[in-house]
Amino acid sequence: MRPLFIAGNWKMNPATAKEAVALAEAIKNGVGPAADVRVAVCPPALFLDQVDAALANSPIGLGAQNMHWKPDGAYTGEISGAMLNDAGCTHVILGHSERRHGMGETDAQVNAKLHTALAVGLIPIVCIGETQQEREGGQTEDVVAGQLTGSLAGISAEQMVGIVLAYEPVWAIGTGLTATPAQAQGVHEFIRDWLTKLFGEATAARIVVQYGGSVKPDNAAELLACPDIDGALVGGASLKEADFLGIIRAAQVVAAKSQA
């Protein structure tokens, strides 16, 4: 049984530490002491320390949105895994499409970051997903398989269990367009089959694969009820406490039903 995992990617929001702390506190109070689904928030790097303090004594994980693959050195503007550890991070998002497509990040770089993240004890959330053009060209499975192959190179089955994947069709990110549950489940099933071929059925059955792309309180339940969707990586809706808590509630209902 894979636990549902809801993570909020705040991207380059909000503008101030005060707002970030207020949002973290509201989420912490809404989730309560014992969440029955996994929850994490990923604020901008500059606010990690203060959000970590705001989340003290809560089960909510703290994630960064990116990191460098080198442990230290002359890398202007970059942030290392050790720095993320020191700021209280438990998770790190790697290979988000806004970095792949906006900043030219490659599978090889995502792979190098992944090995470093694991080495410093961070739980990586590795993002993959096709563009609209690739989907329309019938290339979705090839693109996803290529990103998986490149991003996960050299990863053992044992390591894989500690890695979270996030399937985010680029055309559904921040656009209001959501993949239908059938479209999303179709790709998640393909990912699970790919993981099974590479790491074996027992390992593949334990790997958490989130869906991301315009997840909202009103579409979360249907998406999360799909057999191979194990949570959500939420962008826009994670910036509004009521929406993010609504998605967490939907996950709690789905989790309770599947345990009944």
Ligand X SMILES: O=C[C@H](O)COP(=O)(O)O
Kindly list the catalytic residues: 96, 168
Residues 6+ apart with CB under 8 A from 196: 204
> Rounded distance, CA 237 to CA 231, Å?
14
> Site for ligand X (CB under 6 A): which residue of 9, 111, 147, 210?
9
Cβ closest to ligand X, residue 199 vs residue 230: 230
The reply on whether position 215 binds ligand X by CB under 6 A is yes
Q: Pick the binder of ligand X from 169, 231, 236, 246 (CB under 6 A).
A: 236
**Does the annotation list 246 as a binding residue?**
no
**Residue 88 C-beta: closest distance to ligand X, Å:** 20
Residue 154 assigned as binding residue: no
- The residue from 63, 124, 231, 235 that contacts ligand X (CB under 6 A) is 235
Nearest to 173 by CA among 220, 237, 225, 241: 237
* Range 70-82 burial, b when 16+ CB lie within 10 A, else e: eeeeeeeeebbbe
Residue closest to ligand X, measured at CB: 235
C-alpha span between 44 and 244 (Å, rounded): 17
Instruction: Tell me how many residues contact ligand X (CB under 6 A).
Output: 14
Of 37, 40, 173, 204, the one binding ligand X (CB under 6 A) is 173
Q: If binding is defined by CB under 6 A, does position 213 make contact with ligand X?
A: yes
Whether residue 188 contacts residue 228, with contact meaning beta carbons closer than 8 Å, is answered with: yes
How many angstroms separate the first and last alpha carbons of the chain? 13
Binding residues for substrate: 9-11, 174, 214, 235-236
